[in-house]
C-alpha cells in the first residue's frame, strides 16, 4: 500500500494590502518542535493556466493521470459558488468530490437543485433537476455535511437527489489509481461516527482490502482544525494506521493543511458559502493556512504520484502537496 515520502509545499505570497485583516494572510506554519518535519521548498509560482482536458474513463489505467476537483461548504447559490464552478469548468476535470455542506441552510428538497444542480448538473448522473440534462455517468461524489440533514426529512432530500454507491450515506469508489472512501461524519448517521462504530469498522475493512495505489478518505468534519469549529474528536480515527494516504474535510470555511502522525489532513471549505471563517486556535500540527477568498482544489494522480493544488478565485496557487509512492 503506497505511502507518502515527499511533501512539496508551494505557498503563493499574498500582499497585505490586498487583505482586509492580518488574519486573511496565507500562513505557512511549522509544526511543533517535537514533530518530524518534511523538507519544504518554497518558490515563486506563476498563475496556473487552464488545464488541458482529459478523457473520463471509469477504468483509466494508473499510467494516465486522473484529474478531479475537491470543493467543500459550497452549496449556497450565489456569485461565489458560481465563480468557483466556472473555475472548475475551465479546469475540465474528470469528476468532482465534495467535503460536505452541499445544500444550505437546512438540507431541504426545495433548495437542493438550486444549490447544486444549477452549477454542477453536467457531472451528476441520473439527474432529474431543471437545469440541464445531467451526465451520462455520475461524476459527482459528495459527502454529507451537517447542513445536509433536515429535521423533518432527515437525509431524504440528499439521498433522493443523488445516485451513489452502497448505502449512499458513506461509500467507496475507485478512479484510476485512487480508491476513495466517502464518510458520513454527521452525528445523525445511523451507523455511528466514533472509531468503534459500524461505519468505522466498514472503513477499516475496506482499507485493508484495497489494492489501489492511493487511499483517500473524505469527510465533512475535520479531525484536526485551527478554524472556528476546531478539531472534531469523534472523527479522530486511526486513519494512517488503517492505511489512509490523505484525509480531506470541510466544515470550517477556510483552507488548512496539517500533518498528524505523518498523515496529511486537508481542510477545504471555501467552495462558495457566503461566510469565510477566521482561525480560532492554531494547532501545532498546522503547516499552511489560508482564508482570504474562495477557491477549490485541483488534484492529479497516477500510481506513482498524487498532487493537491489549492487555487483561489484569482487563479493563485496557494498551496501544493505532492505525495510520491514508496
User: What are the tens digits of pLDDT across the range 276-316?
Assistant: 999 999 999 999 999 999 999 999 999 999 999 999 999 99
pLDDT at 63: 67
Which H helix or E strand runs over 89? helix 79-91
Is 113 a member of any domain?
yes
Distance CA 267, CA 254 (A): 7
Q: Which domain holds residue 209?
A: 66-314
Q: Lowest mean pLDDT of 31-40, 130-139, 186-195, name the range.
A: 31-40
Q: Is residue 217 part of a domain?
A: yes
pTM above 0.85, yes or no: no
157 sits in which H/E element: helix 156-161
pLDDT tens, 184-237?
A: 999 999 999 999 999 999 999 999 999 999 999 999 999 999 999 999 999 999
Per residue in 55-97, pLDDT tens?
A: 334 444 446 899 999 999 999 999 999 999 999 999 999 999 9
* Higher pLDDT pick, 284 / 1: 284
What is the tally of structural domains in the chain? Answer: 1
- Tell me if 83 is assigned to some domain: yes
Hunting for cell 505557512 — which residue is that?
28
Neighbours of 130 (CB within 10 A): 10
The domain that holds 145 is classified in CATH as: 3.60.21.10
Please report the pLDDT score of residue 4 as a whole number.
46
Mean pLDDT value across residues 113-117: 98
So what's the pLDDT on residue 267?
98
Q: Taking 50 as the threshold, does the pLDDT of residue 263 lie above it? A: yes
Q: Is 224 part of any domain?
A: yes
Q: Where are the beta strands (DSSP E) in 127-197?
A: 140-141, 171-175, 178-182
**Residue 87 in grid coordinates:** 473555475
Considering the domain boundaries, does residue 223 fall inside one?
Answer: yes
* Residue 50 resides in a domain: no
Domain-embedded: residue 112: yes
Higher-confidence residue: 301 or 16?
301
Q: What is the mean pLDDT of the chain?
A: 86
Please, which residues bridge with residue 181 across strands?
172, 217
Cα gap 302→62, rounded to integer Å: 5
Q: Does residue 57 form part of some domain?
A: no
**What pLDDT, on a 0 to 100 scale, did the predictor assign at position 326?**
80
Amino acid at each position: 500500500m503506497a505511502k507518502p515520502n515527499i511533501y512539496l509545499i508551494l505557498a503563493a505570497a499574498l500582499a497585505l494590502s490586498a487583505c482586509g485583516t492580518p488574519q486573511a494572510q496565507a500562513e505557512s506554519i511549522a509544526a511543533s518542535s517535537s514533530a518530524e518535519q518534511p523538507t519544504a521548498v518554497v518558490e515563486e509560482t506563476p498563475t496556473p493556466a487552464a488545464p488541458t482536458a482529459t478523457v473520463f474513463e471509469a477504468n483509466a489505467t494508473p499510467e494516465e493521470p486522473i484529474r478531479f476537483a475537491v470543493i467543500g461548504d459550497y452549496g449556497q447559490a450565489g456569485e461565489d459558488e458560481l465563480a468557483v464552478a466556472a473555475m472548475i469548468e475551465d479546469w475540465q476535470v474528470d469528476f468532482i468530490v465534495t467535503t460536505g455542506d452541499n445544500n444550505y441552510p437546512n438540507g431541504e428538497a426545495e433548495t437542493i437543485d438550486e444549490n447544486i444542480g444549477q452549477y454542477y448538473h453536467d457531472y451528476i448522473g441520473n439527474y432529474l433537476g431543471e437545469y440541464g440534462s445531467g451526465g451520462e455517468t455520475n461524476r459527482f461524489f459528495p459527502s454529507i455535511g451537517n447542513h445536509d440533514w433536515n429535521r423533518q426529512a432527515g437525509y431524504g432530500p440528499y439521498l433522493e437527489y443523488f445516485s451513489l454507491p452502497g448505502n449512499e450515506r458513506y461509500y467507496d469508489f475507485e478512479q484510476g489509481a485512487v480508491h476513495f472512501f466517502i464518510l458520513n461524519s454527521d452525528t445523525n448517521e445511523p451507523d455511528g461516527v466514533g472509531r468503534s462504530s459500524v461505519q468505522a469498522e466498514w472503513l477499516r475493512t475496506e482499507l485493508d482490502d484495497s489494492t489501489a495505489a492511493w487511499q483517500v478518505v473524505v469527510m465533512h468534519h475535520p479531525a484536526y482544525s485551527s478554524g472556528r469549529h476546531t478539531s472534531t474528536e469523534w472523527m479522530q480515527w486511526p486513519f494512517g494506521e488503517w492505511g489512509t494516504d490523505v484525509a480531506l474535510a470541510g466544515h470550517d470555511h477556510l483552507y488548512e493543511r496539517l500533518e498528524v502522525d505523518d498523515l496529511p489532513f486537508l481542510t477545504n471549505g471555501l467552495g462558495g458559502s457566503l461566510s469565510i471563517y477566521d482561525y480560532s486556535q492554531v494547532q501545532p500540527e498546522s503547516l499552511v493556512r489560508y482564508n482570504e477568498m474562495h477557491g477549490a482544489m485541483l488534484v492529479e494522480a497516477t500510481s506513482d504520484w498524487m498532487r493537491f493544488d489549492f487555487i483561489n478565485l484569482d487563479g493563485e496557487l496557494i498551496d501544493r502537496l505532492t505525495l510520491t509512492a514508496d
